């Protein structure tokens, strides 16, 4: 079934249900609204809880590339990386799109309910992930932040941050230098969309989900995204997460902290404004406060020069 040249997403869902022999819980609805891919709770024969993730071709080549990258991760790297991932049960790729069937791997915990121990485990697990060696040519990934800094949405940025973020003009004027500093970091294997909504908990361990953005990137991509996504809830990632990370990796704490401040501030300035619509007034106010704090720290460190 087609509409013009575009496949209907429902056809991919129907095919996946038939191929996998599952029953989708339509009452729950998809659990992922931002990425475009639909993640649906379902039951396998015998009642086993599973998740069906479908990425219809209608979403376009970027979405399909991300879905194929995730499927390749599960097939090639999931068994090798030193973090837990949901078990891949089945999958297929057709001209309709990509369908992936994953075992239910744990329970979601709201970011406000994360304990100090959970944050420490996150720091430990990310440090381990960032040591994995992969072939550069095989795991190239889009860098949304560097792309946004190359061609910023200046009007939207000024509208959202103007009058809220002191020295915004300085940040915009120096974006080329800031971008170069970010780009100079060594490349490691990153999750790429690391936040507490993409992590479930099972037996006191973390399980990392949604690997559509994985590939080579900056370590601070993962570390900063956790904080960015926690900010609207008024949650600050505790220092022990980074301390655990540094102890595991052997990095210089001050160098990492500087890079992390810049990464998080750049995400807020250059990427966050279009996502304000997903947040409440209170959440936006917390983001404003977080960005102001980061900007103050960044300019103070820049004025001091290298440590």
Mean pLDDT taken over the chain: 92
Same domain for 288 and 155: yes
Q: What is the pLDDT of residue 204?
A: 82
Domain boundary pick from 103, 137, 169: 103
The enclosing domain of 53 has a CATH number of 3.30.200.20
Domain extent for 71: 2-103
Segment (H or E) for 93: strand 88-94
Q: What is the pLDDT of residue 197?
A: 95
The enclosing domain of 276 has a CATH number of 3.90.1200.10
The Cα 208–Cα 293 span in angstroms is 29
The Cα 185–Cα 237 span in angstroms is 22
Number of domains forming the structure of the chain: 2
Same domain for 257 and 129: yes
Same domain for 271 and 246: yes
> Is the pLDDT higher at 302 or at 258?
258
Contact 245, 292 (CB under 8 A): no
Q: What is the pLDDT of residue 8?
A: 55
The Cα 241–Cα 120 span in angstroms is 5
Q: What is the pLDDT of residue 31?
A: 57
Q: Which residues of 13-42 are buried (b: 16+ CB within 10 A; e: fewer)?
A: bebbbeebebebeeeeeeebeebbbbbbbb
- Whole-structure pTM over 0.85, yes or no? yes
Same domain for 278 and 138: yes
Give the pLDDT confidence of 131-170 residue by residue, as tens digits: 999 998 899 999 999 999 999 999 999 999 999 999 999 9
Contact 291, 283 (CB under 8 A): no
């Amino acid at each position: 079934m087609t509409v013009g040249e575009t496949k209907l997403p429902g056809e991919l869902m129907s095919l996946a249900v038939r191929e996998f022999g599952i029953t989708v819980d339509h009452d729950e609805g998809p659990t992922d609204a931002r990425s475009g891919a639909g993640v649906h709770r379902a039951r396998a024969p015998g009642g086993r809880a599973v998740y069906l993730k479908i990425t219809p071709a209608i979403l376009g080549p970027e979405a399909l590339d991300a879905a194929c990258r995730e499927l390749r991760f599960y097939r090639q790297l999931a068994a090798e990386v030193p973090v837990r991932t949901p078990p891949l049960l089945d999958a297929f790729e057709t001209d309709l799109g990509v369908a992936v069937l994953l075992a239910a791997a744990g329970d979601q915990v709201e970011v406000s309910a994360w304990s100090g121990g959970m944050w420490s485990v996150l720091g430990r697990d990310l440090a381990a992930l960032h040591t994995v060696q992969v072939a550069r040519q095989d795991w190239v990934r889009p860098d949304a932040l560097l792309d946004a800094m190359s061609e910023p949405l200046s009007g939207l940025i000024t509208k959202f941050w103007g009058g809220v973020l002191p020295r915004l003009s300085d940040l915009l004027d120096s974006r080329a230098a800031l971008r170069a500093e970010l780009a100079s970091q060594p490349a490691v294997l990153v999750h790429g969309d690391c936040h507490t909504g993409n992590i479930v908990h099972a037996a006191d361990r973390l399980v990392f989900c949604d690997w559509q953005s994985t590939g080579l990137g900056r370590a601070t991509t993962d570390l900063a995204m956790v904080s960015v996504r926690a900010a609207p809830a008024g949650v600050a990632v505790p220092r022990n997460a980074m301390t655990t990370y540094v102890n595991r990796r052997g990095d210089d704490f001050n160098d990492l902290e500087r890079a992390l401040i810049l990464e998080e501030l750049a995400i807020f300035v250059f990427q966050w404004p279009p996502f304000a619509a997903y947040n409440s007034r209170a959440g936006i106010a917390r983001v404003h406060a977080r960005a102001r704090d980061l900007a103050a720290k960044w300019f103070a460190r820049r004025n001091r020069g290298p440590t």
